[in-house]
């Protein structure tokens, strides 16, 4: 009975050790999503800068 428990625990641990490194690598979809997120963030920053510039130019009048 104890041998079965030890074997089961060893198999579960082995499965975790094999599965976890696979979670670290990004696939093509994750890389594309990250690129899109970065592009949207940069665009938002540029829009905010443009809005600030317009606001400053109208306040000077």
**Counted domains in the chain:** 1
pLDDT at 22: 67
pLDDT value at 60 more than 70? no
Range of the domain at 28: 2-59
The pTM score is 0.52
pLDDT at 61 over 80: no
What is the CB neighbour count within 10 angstroms for residue 21?
8
Q: What is the pLDDT of residue 25?
A: 76
Residue recorded with tokens 């665009």: 43
pLDDT tens-digit series, residues 5-48: 888 888 888 887 777 776 677 788 989 999 999 999 999 999 99
31 Cα distance to chain centroid: 9
60-to-54, 56, 57 alpha-carbon distances in Å? 10, 7, 5
């Amino acid at each position: 009975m104890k041998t079965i428990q030890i074997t089961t625990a060893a198999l579960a641990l082995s499965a975790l050790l094999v599965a976890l490194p696979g979670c670290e690598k990004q696939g093509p979809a994750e890389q594309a999503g990250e690129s899109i997120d970065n592009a949207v963030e940069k665009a938002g920053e540029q829009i905010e800068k443009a809005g600030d510039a317009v606001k400053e130019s109208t306040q000077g009048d």
